[in-house]
Amino acid sequence: MSDLRPRTNRPSRSRSGPTSTIARHGRLKTRNPFGTLAKILAATLGVALVSGVSVAAIAAWDVSSSLKKSVHLVDASGNTVTPQIGAIDGAFNVLLAGSDSGGGNAAYGVRGENLNDVTMLLHVSADHQNATVVSFPRDMFVPIPSCPKANGGSYSAMSYQKINTTLTYGGLACTVLTVQKLTGMTIPYAAVIQFDGVIQMSNAVGGVPVCVAGNIVDPYTGLNVKAGQNTLQGTQALAFLRTRHGVGDGSDLGRISNQQVFLSSLVRTIKSADTLSNPAKVYGIAKAAASNMSLSDSLNNLSTIASMAIAMKNINLNNVVFVQYPNHYVAGGVAPTVNSATQLFTALTNDQPISLTGNTGVGSVADPNAPAATTPPSAGAPTSSSTSTAVPSPTSSSVPLPSDVQGQTAGQYTCSKPFSG
């Protein structure tokens, strides 16, 4: 195991080289995840029901290729027995880690490390009416608990290390244990996604429309987009999510808010009738996700995935909140802002809805051409038109977060803000 002392060669605000990364993992073995018509239908059902809360919530709905062949059951009359799957009971949490290994793909260059430069936690409330996605800055110093080794035994705990080293240190299990320790929340489900998964997912939905407040050219990631509306897919979608030097203040914090511009639009795209009524797109999303995700044992089950999808399918866009973990700058990176983080995770632990009072972050601005705000629909009603550029007003039951907690809802239209120096 390599020396994992705090590294100072990759500070949040550093602009010294092309080191920024997003949502990546080693390439999985090539396989055909849709071996039978039944598998195709199961995957399609899962994606069609999912609300698109985050990449963690919309990805990997077909895992049937890794399941053992099932036994065909019939009733006394010879009719096929179809399992009845309902929404998962209560609240649940899912962690998504994005690896920067490149998966051995030469297109991404020589990458000697396997860092989780993206770490996101999805929390869905017990009443299935609210969802929160928390992004953890890659350069945030946190305590890392003792993590199990693959061959038995465990790695020693560390008191002060960047969170993006956990994937290298002890794999996905270590990342989960670290986030559990940091947040106090139990995380039974987790997944890792790789570069190619981002590319294929954006292609599967037919591209993701994003607003850019000015031209962005980033030679480090290959991003080249013009001011205005852009529909991004393939390598440009990946470059947009990876860019750090091209947005905000050039930091990873700016990149997080830029990613939230993309993710909120992705949520709206996935939930749109144009996507969910198009079998080719639904199939493509399932196939892209299944081919590029590595799942925890707890997620490697179609019934579990379908139950999650059913639970999330009616969440209002204004109740899908993307949050950046509260932090502040320190030498070599950032550190948790404890008081604000405590308020955030106390609310989530108590299953209370949250509302934002701060801005969207240094990598994004409000979209001046966004559709006019509309009155949020009642629970279960269509949500595609329930959008706004402003911070939604807190409800009587929501917990207002401190103004230093940045983020946006999926119902807010925002634009990526070019690097301002």
| pLDDT per residue as tens digits for the range 89-111 | 999 999 999 877 655 555 555 55
The pLDDT of residue 83: 57
Beta bridge partners of 223: 218
Q: Would you say residue 372 lies in a domain? A: yes
Q: Would you say residue 72 lies in a domain? A: no
- Give pTM, 2 decimals: 0.78
The pLDDT of residue 73: 57
Q: Would you say residue 19 lies in a domain? A: no
Mean pLDDT calculated for residue range 365-373: 88
User: Total structural domains in the chain?
Assistant: 1
Mean pLDDT calculated for residue range 83-94: 84
Beta bridge partners of 328: 335
Instruction: Output the CA–CA distances (angstroms, integers) from residue 270 to 87, 195, 242, 328, 349, in the order listed.
Output: 19, 20, 21, 33, 28
Domain extent, residue 190, equals 37-67+85-416
- Find, among 284, 248, 287, 254, the residue nearest to 269 by Cα: 284
Q: Would you say residue 148 lies in a domain? A: yes
Q: What is the DSSP string of 135-168?
A: EPPTTBEEEE--EE-TTSSEEPPEEEEEGGGHHH
The three-state secondary structure class of 102 is: helix
Q: Would you say residue 14 lies in a domain? A: no
DSSP state of 237: H
Q: Would you say residue 43 lies in a domain? A: yes
Query: 143 and 159 in contact (C-beta within 8 Å)?
Result: yes
- The span from the CA of 174 to the CA of 176, in Å, is 5
Q: Would you say residue 286 lies in a domain? A: yes
Q: Would you say residue 327 lies in a domain? A: yes
Q: What is the pLDDT of residues 269-281, one digit of tens each?
A: 988 877 777 777 7
Residue 350's CATH number: 3.40.630.190
Residues in the chain: 421
